[in-house]
Amino acid sequence: MEQARHPVSLVVPVYNEERTIGPLLDSVFDQTRPPDEVIIVDGASTDGTCGIVEGLIRQGRAIRLLRAGRAHPGEGRNLGVQAAAHDAVAFTDAGVLLDARWLEKLSEPLERDPSTEAVYGTYEPILGTFFKECAALAYVPPRVVRDGSRIRGPSTVSCLMKKSVWKAVGGFPRYRAAEDLIFFEGVARGGFTIAYAPDAVARWQIVDDWRSVFPKFSRYSYHNLVAGRARDWHYGVARFYAAAGISVALAVLHTPWWLLAPVVLHAARVLKTAFLKRRAFEFRDVLRPKRLLCVGALLLLLDAATWWGAVRWGLSGGPRAARG
């Protein structure tokens, strides 16, 4: 018997994505199982994003463009779900290329078992340069085993769920960062029927160069603190530098040899990162000295971005910081 085909709405929040929106939508319409509806929710882009989408609509592409005003990605997703014509809603983000069978594979668990309420796919970083490989080692998480499948996530770049799940959780919170983590924690607490689709792969563009790292992660740092998620990121960085500070104090009070302790701690952090992710990506020479030096420098740059975001958060009022 042929499986029932559930119609699916695809929701994508965007902001200033004129470089990436065209390739993303090309990958959407090249799907072996195209979405039944594509909703692009624009958060007040100031570049040519909306013009590109409108041009595709004039060419006959089945896209709905919602202008959300100044909206963060979670708010854009909420508006998209509210406007969606179908009960099953898939999510991805800008800066992503979808494998040709992404939605086919993401929909399969629901079509096999209509009682399935949420499906989590996976994502892979788009590499291709030595820097991007080092960046992936520095901050892209490895795959984890979930219900016998190895995936990265759950993530809003590759998931599908029924509107009832979104509604029960209360939608995505109004934060610029960590809104997806908070949402998926709500899904986990809700006891919904979740399936995994390890072959539903979204390919994610990561930072291109050194200059992109600091501003990107300092914004994430700031907005994670606004969302009250210091324990997920900032506490670990603070503990590392507290230990380094103690070593410096001991070097002043006792012997300069204590200055070696922060160097050893950082080297251990780099080696741990490389070891834990040695099978996470296609390249295998994770212990190459040049790569370890690059990863070490990136981790320090990420630390600096974390501290600068925290300083901005403190100067803007700390816990009273308004949504940025």
86-104 pLDDT, tens digit each: 999 999 999 999 999 999 9
Q: What is the pLDDT of residue 278?
A: 86
Report percent pLDDT > 70 for the chain: 97
Within a domain: residue 259?
A: yes
Q: Are residues 170 and 138 in the same domain?
A: yes
Tell me whether residue 3 is in a domain: no
Asked if 153 and 276 sit in the same domain, the reply is: no
Q: What residue numbers bound the domain in which 88 lies?
A: 8-205
Same domain, 82 and 188: yes
pLDDT tens per residue across span 246-285: 999 999 998 999 999 999 999 999 999 999 898 888 888 8
Q: Looking at this protein, which amino acid is placed at residue 17?
A: E
* pTM of model > 0.85: yes
- Residue 296: Cβ within 10 Å count: 19
Q: What is the mean pLDDT of the chain?
A: 93
Residue 176, pLDDT score: 87
Of the candidates 194, 199, 184, 45, the residue with the CA atom closest to the CA atom of residue 123: 199
Rg (CA), the chain: 21
- Domain closes at, from 205, 227, 245: 205
Q: 37-42 and 88-91: which strand pairing?
A: unpaired
Q: Which of 205, 239, 269 is the last residue of a domain?
A: 205
C-alpha span between 324 and 319 (Å, rounded) = 13
Residue 131 lies in a domain: yes
**Distant-in-sequence, close-in-space partners of 140: CB < 8 Å, separation ≥ 6:** 125, 152, 206, 277, 280, 281
In the chain, the number of structural domains is 2
